[in-house]
Structure 1
Amino acid sequence: MCENQNAADWRKRDRKANPGKYRARDKAQNLALYGLSLEQYQAMWSRQNGMCLTCGETLRSGIGGAAVDHDHLTGAVRGILCASCNRALGYARDSPAILRRLADYLEKCATNTAA
């Protein structure tokens, strides 16, 4: 087995045995994709009082929790959303028109089923 493979195997085992050791570094690397430092992210989280900007639910940290929302055209960070709201924006292709039509659809269906 080559030396590089031994090192890769060791890193994989170490990461599994010591997940906390890598969390902050992984978070920092992920935030760097959006041009954010960990300190900027934490300040944004505080300004939002740990709440999703769209649904108002309390944000959860970690995988599948909070997501950095950004404009896919400009790359500008808009805020921190819960994973569900961030996915909803993505599925609607960040289109306000699609989101309005979805809201209209839900309201229309609610009115029709209540009658």
Structure 2
Amino acid sequence: MLEGQGNCCAVCRSGFTEGDRPHIDHDHSCCPGKKPCGKCVRGLLCGRCNTGLGQFKDSMTFLRAAISYLESFR
């Protein structure tokens, strides 16, 4: 998976480093804990993107609202 993503975060495309290793992103509605079952793995993310998705509870509604909010200040 790491090679398939070009050693980069699937969201922001920043390269992984020793200081920012990949985080396994998974669908929390399948596996509510921290460890995925393996079937629900979506990709590898940097810490910032992984935390961001978690803070938005993987909700596309919340993420779209955040984008709309940011765009209103352009």
TM-score under structure 2 length normalisation: 0.81
What is the RMSD computed on CA atoms of the aligned residues? 1.4
Matched, 1:68 2:24: yes
Determine the structure 2 residue equivalent to 1:56.
Answer: 13
AA aligned to 1:81 is L
AA aligned to 2:21 is G
Q: Which runs of 5+ in 1 are unaligned?
A: 1-43
AA aligned to 1:57 is S
Larger proportion of helix: 1
Alpha-carbon contact 1:45-1:80 (below 8 Å) kept = yes
Q: Which has the larger radius of gyration?
A: 1
Determine the structure 1 residue equivalent to 2:35.
Answer: none
AA aligned to 1:88 is G
Q: 1:61 to 1:74 in 2, by over 3 A?
A: farther
Once residues 61 and 45 of structure 1 are traced to their aligned partners in structure 2, the CA distance between those partners, rounded to angstroms, is: 14
TM-score under structure 1 length normalisation: 0.53
Q: Which runs of 5+ in 2 are unaligned?
A: 32-39
How many percent identity over aligned positions?
38
